[in-house]
Structure 1
Amino acid sequence: MPRWPDIKIGQRILLGFGFAAFLTLLVAAVSIYYLRGVGQELTSIAEQDQLLLTNALELQVAVEQESDGVRGYLLSGDQSFLEPFTTGQSHYSEAATELEGLVESQENRQLLSDINTLHHEFLKIAEEEITLHEQGFPQSAIFLWQKQGNEIKGDLHASLTGFIERQEGVISQHAQEAQSQQNQALVIALILVVVAWVAGMAGGIWISRSITRPIKSLVSATQAISKGDLTTRTSMSGTDELTTLGSAMNQMVRDLAQSRETTENLTAQLRDLVGTLEQRVAERTHELERLEELGRAIIDAPHDASTLP
């Protein structure tokens, strides 16, 4: 696996974009998964609450259907009114059975048990009055139904109403909890976005510094070289473009330093040679001056001899 300094600059930039894209997709996936899970859970709770409330209302409707059937039969003696009574019992049984599977809290189970007990007493009184009517005592059956039947029906209706109101309160509470969970999910999603943003910024800064740091080193070395300091070297490791450029610059500076040293040596040698030549010229000039004086002395010697007395 290549080291980071060995990765080309273009590849680093691509890796940076890839890292940012990966973080974005990861945050989006996690947020969608979490929000979807919360949404499914809330939907399931809402559906269960609505189903529970619907079945509770079905109990109330079934009781009214049973009551209307009994009252119609007792008042008219028409056997067709017993059909709604029987149908109401079937509807009540189905709704009660489904409610038993939906109710979870012990308090609600107790309320449902009390409602079923009252309903059982309600059916018992209804069947007694129907039997009394069939035995030829319709007025007594009607009187007893209006007294006992309506009383137990009132208790049953009150219990069902209380149970329904309780479930409506539970639904309202669940709605508030659902809103709270949705807000919490949004907060978590925002936190994930912020974390991804911070991680992306940190990765971007790290990649940027991995590129700008060697560039600054090259700029500093170039400025020092421009001022004549040929001892400056760039210290970079790796095989990327900037490291290659730094190595080429170091080689160039070494070549310049070697050229300067060679030039200085040649200049020193030339200076020595010029000094030697100047010394020889001076010596030769001095020698010529002596010869000139000697020549003048030789020329002047006969003239001086002829002037002697």
Structure 2
Amino acid sequence: MRLRHLLLLTQLPFWALLLATFLILQGSLDRRVQTVEQVNETRTQLERTAELLTHVLDMETGVRGYVISGQPAFLEPYYRGEAAFPAVIGTLREGATSDAERARLARISALIGQWQAEVAQPEIRLRPDRPAEAEALVRSGRGKRILDQIRAGIGGIEESLGRQLRDVDARAQAQLGELRRVLVGAAVTLLLLSVGITLLTARLLTGPLSELGRGTRRVTDQGGAAVTERGPREYRELAGAFNRMSRGVQEARESSARAADELAAHNAWLSELARLSDALQAASSVAEGTEILSRALPHLLPGTSGQLAQHNASRNLLLPAAAWGEALLTPGPDSCWALRRGETQGTGADRPFMPGCAGMPGGYLCAPLFSHGETLGLIRVQPGPDADLGALREALNDVARQVALALASLRLQDRLLQQSIRDPLTGLFNRRHLEAQLATGVAAAQGGEPLSIVALDIDHFKRLNDTFGHDAGDAALVRVSAALRELAPPGSTPARPGGEEFTLLLPHADLTEAAALAETLRARVEALDLSHDGIALGQVTVSLGVAGLAPGGSGEALVAAADQALYAAKRAGRNRVVVAGAQERADRS
């Protein structure tokens, strides 16, 4: 609408006032008719309520007369009321104007049914054959209490209908007063309309301009604002151009804020990844590193399920090392496309042409773990339904690089540790590790825990080396160490301090248990059938010395006692077990 049209429209309020006055009068007449109809409906409801009460009283009177007289004719009012009251209640429900009235009618219907089931029908049934029980039921007052509740409910309905009738009458009087006020107001409005139209026209012309000025200030202060496109066409076009400009400014600010938020989130994620790298560098073993990864990976790859799998020692299997979310199958190395191609692979909507790993469901990503040309394993994740696959792939690649470097370092650390504490020929612990475990066991034994040690030596080992060569001697050492490793209980330390000497440190084992284990080991070695390069080496035996830590004793004393017992076994003819304490007692006797 142009400005000149607006000026012409300022005359419309006069015509609108006349039309409104006519409509108000018409509405008043309609409301009056509706009020009369409501009065009639309310009175009809009152009559039906009274009819319902009459039926209930007739039913109660008929049953009482039958109980007193025993004549079936007295039951006629009961049956008549029983047939009529459901229809009356149904009519009352149709005419009810509120949920409270319908609930009260339902309550009355239920009480009538309760009175019939618990009082009326039992009295009618008992009166022919057991009149005394019927009278006792009457005297119990049960029926009176239920009927009192029915009367109270009907009375409540009547009272509510009465209030409605009074409210309708009061509303009718108010409508008449309102009509008088409307007529007076219309006359006064005609007098004030000319002044109001002048003020309104001025506001319509200056309001959009003022709002546009306020919107400009909001854009400067807040970055975005919208003004109402109202008024003449010239004003609306100006407001529309302003709103488009404001939306552009707001979108630019929001885009900048989103970019800042994404950057902050990415920086926070990188910080988490850096903390993971620091934690992995502080780990002392691969097992400790995988425990850290099992806790960190769900946070670094949120909303996913996944697993970290590592190659076994033979590199023919992938073994689960850490998992989170829903359980995933672990693929074989030959069936994994990520390991075949040496890069992150996945299936799903982003790569519909890629085949999946054998036995695996669709919709997952696999990132291989490589470090210095060595394949360590892979990380497999299954994204959530709303995941951004591109962002997840990028995050998975970053995580995989960190994890691969950490696992390679931890594996190297484990290998170096094993090389430093293991005997290269037999795979048993060396003297250095034995001494460290002995110090730990002695410290634990100070609290009352038993600690025993078994020292053993291959009998006539020099003769075996001289006769068959050092390779045969090494083969004998390997077989004896294998028997020692098999019999060593969990938590013990089987070691080869040097040469043909072996030691078994037994924490938590007393002298009796250690001696029994030593005897078992002696018999196991004696039963070995040794050969090398097809040449039988003959029977190999061992001599064993067993000692237990005395209260307050030291590790050096314990080792010395075991060695003395071992020497005693040698002197006694070899291929036997000597317990340190028992040998001393035998020497004294």
Q: CA RMSD in A?
A: 2.9
Aligned residue pairs total 176
Question: What is the CA distance between 1:121 and its match in structure 2?
Answer: 0.6
- The structure 2 residue matched to 1:43, chosen from 20, 31, 36, is 36
Is 2:131 the counterpart of 1:138?
A: yes
1:20-35 equivalent positions in 2, closer than 5 A: 33-35=26-28
Alignment of 1:6-155 (within 5 A): 33-124=26-117, 125-134=119-128, 136-146=129-139, 147-155=141-149
Checking the alignment, whether the CA contact within 8 Å between 2:25 and 2:179 is kept in structure 1 is no
The CA distance in 2 between the partners of 1:193 and 1:87, in whole Å, is 63
Shift of 1:26: 8.6
Distance 1:169 1:29 in 2: 33
User: Are the aligned partners of 2:127 and 2:134 in contact in 1 as well (CA < 8 Å)?
Assistant: yes
CA contact (8 A) 1:27 1:193 kept: no
- Selected match of 1:179 from 153, 165, 173: 173
> Partners of 1:129 and 1:189 in 2: how far apart?
67
- The answer as to whether partners of 2:63 and 2:124 remain within 8 angstroms in 1 is yes
Indicate the residue corresponding to 2:443 in structure 1.
none
Query: After superposition, what is the alpha-carbon deviation per residue over 1:108-153, rounded to whole angstroms, capped at 9, x for unaligned?
Result: 221111111111111212011101113x112321221242211211
Q: What is the Cα deviation at residue 188 of structure 1?
A: 2.4
Tell whether the 8 Å contact from 1:34 to 1:185 is kept in structure 2 after alignment. no
Offset at residue 195 of structure 1 (A): 7.0
Q: Does 1:162 align with 2:156?
A: yes
Displacement of 1:174 after TM fit?
2.5
TM-superposed CA distance for 1:60, in Å, is: 1.1
- 1: distance between equivalents of 2:82 and 2:179? 45
Query: After superposition, what is the alpha-carbon deviation per residue over 1:27-49, rounded to whole angstroms, capped at 9, x for unaligned?
Result: 99767633431221101111121
Could you list the per-position Cα deviations for residues 253-278 of structure 1 after superposition, in whole angstroms to 9, with x for gaps in the alignment? xxxxxxxxxxxxxxxxxxxxxxxxxx
The whole-number CA distance in structure 1 between the counterparts of 2:178 and 2:74 is 55
Pairs within 5 Å for 1:222-301:
none
Q: Which amino acid aligns with 1:150?
A: K
Cα distance, 1:178 vs structure 2: 2.4
Task: Verify the 8 A CA contact 1:129 1:141 in the aligned structure 2.
Answer: yes
What code does the residue aligned with 1:46 have?
V
Higher deviation after alignment, 160-169 or 65-74: 160-169
Shift of 1:155: 1.6
Contact 1:27 1:196 in 2 (8 A): no
Distance 1:26 1:193 in 2: 13
Relative to structure 1, the CA distance from residue 152 to residue 190 in structure 2 (aligned partners, 3 Å threshold; closer, same or farther) is same
Query: Is contact 2:61-2:78 (8 Å) kept?
Result: yes
Q: Matches of 1:154 and 1:176 in 2, distance apart?
A: 32
Q: Deviations over 1:42-71 (max 9, x none)?
A: 011111211222222221111111111111
- The 2-side partners of 1:151 and 1:27 are apart by 58
> In structure 2, do the counterparts of structure 1 residues 133 and 27 end up closer, same or farther at CA, with 3 Å as the change threshold?
same
Q: 1:85 to 1:34 in 2, by over 3 A?
A: same
Per the TM alignment, residue 161 of structure 1 is displaced from its structure 2 partner at its CA by: 1.3
Letter in 2 for 1:48: E
Whether contact under 8 Å (1:56, 1:163) holds in the other structure is yes
Deviation at 1:89, TM superposition (A): 1.9
The letter of the residue matching 1:68 is T
Report which of the two has the higher share of helix.
Answer: 1
SS of structure 2 residue aligned to 1:83: helix
Which structure carries more relative contact order (alpha carbon 8 Å, separation 6+)?
A: 1
The Cα of 1:76 is off from its aligned counterpart by 0.9
**Alpha-carbon contact 1:126-1:145 (below 8 Å) kept:** no
Separation (CA, whole Å) in 2 of partners of 1:90 and 1:47: 27
Structure with the larger strand share: 2
Assess if the C-alpha contact under 8 Å between 2:52 and 2:88 holds in 1. Answer: yes
CA distance in 2, matches of 1:83, 1:190: 64
Does the 8 A contact of 1:115 with 1:159 survive in 2? yes
- Taking the aligned partners of 2:178 and 2:85, their CA distance within structure 1 comes to 40
Task: Tell me the alpha carbon deviations over residues 265-309 of structure 1, each in whole angstroms, 9 at most, x when there is no partner.
Answer: xxxxxxxxxxxxxxxxxxxxxxxxxxxxxxxxxxxxxxxxxxxxx
What CA distance in whole angstroms lies between the structure 1 residues aligned with 2:85 and 2:191?
58
- Where 2:127 maps in the other structure, the secondary structure is helix
Q: 2:127 and 2:71 mapped to 1: Cα distance?
A: 11
Call closer, same or farther: CA 1:49–1:109 in 2, change over 3 Å: same
Give, in whole Å, the separation in 2 of the partners of 1:80 and 1:195: 75
Q: 1:182 to 1:91 in 2, by over 3 A?
A: farther
What displacement does 1:167 show? 2.0
- The separation in 2 between residues aligned to 1:138 and 1:185, in whole angstroms, is 68
Distance 1:64 1:161 in 2: 13
Equivalent residues of 2:28, 2:175 under 8 A apart: no
- Amino acid of the residue matched to residue 44 of structure 2? L
State the shift of 1:189 in Å: 4.0
**Max Rg structure:** 1
Partner-residue secondary structure (3-state), 1:39: helix
Q: Which moved more, 1:95-104 or 1:141-150?
A: 141-150
CA contact (8 A) 1:53 1:164 kept: yes
Q: Is the 8 A contact 1:38 1:185 kept in 2?
A: no
